[in-house]
Amino acid sequence: MPTATITRKGEDRVRAGHPWIYRSDVIEVNAEPGDIASVTARGRTIGYALFSDRSEIVLRMISHGEDPPADSMWRDRLAAAIAYRESLALDATAYRLVHGEADRLPSLIVDRYGDHLVVQALSQAVDRRLPEITKMLVELLRPAGILARNDPRVRLLEGLEQRVESLYGDMPEAIDVREGAVRYRVDPWRGQKTGLFLDQRENREAALRYARGRVLDAFSYNGGFALALAPKSETVLAVDISEDAVERIRANAARNNLPNVEARAMNVFDELRELERIGARFDTIVLDPPAFAKNKAAVPKALSGYKEINLRALKLLQRGGFLVTCSCSYNVGEATFLDVVSDAAADAHVEVSLVEKRAQGRDHPILVNVPETYYLKCLILRRLA
Ligand SMILES: C[S@@+](CC[C@H](N)C(=O)[O-])C[C@H]1O[C@@H](n2cnc3c(N)ncnc32)[C@H](O)[C@@H]1O
């Protein structure tokens, strides 16, 4: 049996409910890359973990106690993750089926797009088991096709190459899916993430409760918020820097018969400045930028970026209007993000109330003992004066 011995500090972390053990807390390992190793601390086996010989996260706990995990562990956990999503009865045909650690399947992502699945293997252990996992997914879900979107950069930290390949069945270039009343055409091979920003689905539903008048959807990707809010709005201006994303917004707007959506390929920082210069005003604004702080060192610059876009958006917002503002940087916590937004309101000389504090959708669960799993913050604010 492969084995690993960890420090007292590592043991304390595991006992506090965190599944990751960093290199600095590993004393000795006798295991091959991707093995499941028994984890020993102070002479006792405290559990079992996925081993990686390259990553800073050397061990990812998958079970606790002296007994090794059952042979049926992978299948049982996949089935439990699928059953949980079914119990949510989501009003969508695209959603996350497996969210890594939060489904006790560390570093495995599985997203559903209609009859097709897109998987990501983000550690050596999951990468090695991908053929078995694919077989289990076929047995459990009978999909028409399974694609491996193994191109996230984090795979490089595991010493794994970036590759996108069909694992099973037929995987088309375009898949039609539905989210509430909106129909999207998704490119699972090349789209951002696995094709859509599935984690924002429930925030798009929430934003619809407040949307009205003239809407600005900044950092729109293929029109997620813009298309959801358009039926309740006079006009929608969707802005994204990617020409390809903007083409998709236009195609999706036509597909949904939403002629009030205008899409522009622009840098949001420039566009907000220009809109302010020409005296534009909006009743509803969405800010959903990419993660500005990809690591701790990037936090100060990220905070000034968040402040700038929120300040400019609040100036463009009519009194009584709503701002839906998001941050998907794990390194910027909820309290810090709230501070940034309140600083922006003070500098913009506007009064705002906090209407809702939200996170990623329920198909992307948060583990209370693993702060890294709470990455998406979404605040809904109302401008009072
Ligand atoms: C988190 S995604 C937005 C997801 C989208 N709101 C949705 O609901 O599907 C961030 C988007 O910002 C775009 N982006 C990144 N930097 C940008 C910039 N400076 N100006 C405009 N768009 C930018 C990316 O192309 C990406 O589509």
Is any ligand 1 atom within 6 A of the Cβ of residue 208? no
Question: How far is the centre of ligand 1, averaged over its atoms, from the C-alpha of 204 (Å)?
Answer: 15
Is any ligand 1 atom within 6 A of the Cβ of residue 292? no
Atom of ligand 1 nearest to the CA of 217: 6
Residues 6+ apart with CB under 8 A from 377: 326, 327, 328, 332, 334, 337, 357, 358, 359
> CATH 3.30.750.80 region(s) of the chain?
73-175
> CATH 2.30.130.10 region(s) of the chain?
3-64
Strand partners, 148: 119, 165
DSSP string computed for 18-76: --EEEGGGEEEEE--TT-EEEEEETTEEEEEEEE-SSSSEEEEEEEESSSPPPTTHHHH
Give the active site residue among 328, 345, 359, 376. Answer: 328
If one counts every other C-beta atom within 10 angstroms of the C-beta of residue 44, the result is 9
Residue 306 and residue 333 in contact, taking contact as beta carbons nearer than 8 Å: no
pLDDT in single tens digits along all 385 residues of the chain? 999 999 999 999 999 999 999 999 999 999 999 999 999 999 999 999 999 999 999 999 999 999 999 999 999 999 999 999 999 999 999 999 999 999 999 999 999 999 999 999 999 999 999 999 999 999 999 999 999 999 999 999 999 999 999 999 999 999 999 999 999 999 999 999 999 999 999 999 999 999 999 999 999 999 999 999 999 999 999 999 999 999 999 999 999 999 999 999 999 999 999 999 999 999 999 999 999 988 889 999 999 999 999 999 999 999 999 999 999 999 999 999 999 999 999 999 999 999 999 999 999 999 999 999 999 999 999 999 9
Is any ligand 1 atom within 6 A of the Cβ of residue 269? yes
Residues 6+ apart with CB under 8 A from 74: 105, 129, 132, 133, 136
Tell me which amino acid residue 236 is. Answer: V
Residue 110 and residue 74 in contact, taking contact as beta carbons nearer than 8 Å: no
Q: What is the CATH number of domain 197-383?
A: 3.40.50.150
In the structure encoding, which two tokens stand for residue 173, read together?
């270039």
Question: How far is the centre of ligand 1, averaged over its atoms, from the C-alpha of 324 (Å)?
Answer: 14
What distance in Å separates the CA atoms of residue 101 and residue 62, rounded to the nearest whole number? 9
Question: How far is the centre of ligand 1, averaged over its atoms, from the C-alpha of 242 (Å)?
Answer: 8
What distance in Å separates the CA atoms of residue 193 and residue 181, rounded to the nearest whole number? 22
Q: Which fold has domain 3-64?
A: 2.30.130
Q: What is the DSSP letter of 197?
A: -
> CATH 3.40.50.150 region(s) of the chain?
197-383
Q: What is the DSSP letter of 296?
A: G
Atom of ligand 1 nearest to the CA of 289: 10
Question: How far is the centre of ligand 1, averaged over its atoms, from the C-alpha of 99 (Å)?
Answer: 22
Measured CA to CA in angstroms, residue 32 lies from 161, 165, 279, 369 at distances of: 18, 25, 62, 29
Q: What is the CATH number of domain 73-175?
A: 3.30.750.80
Is any ligand 1 atom within 6 A of the Cβ of residue 321? no
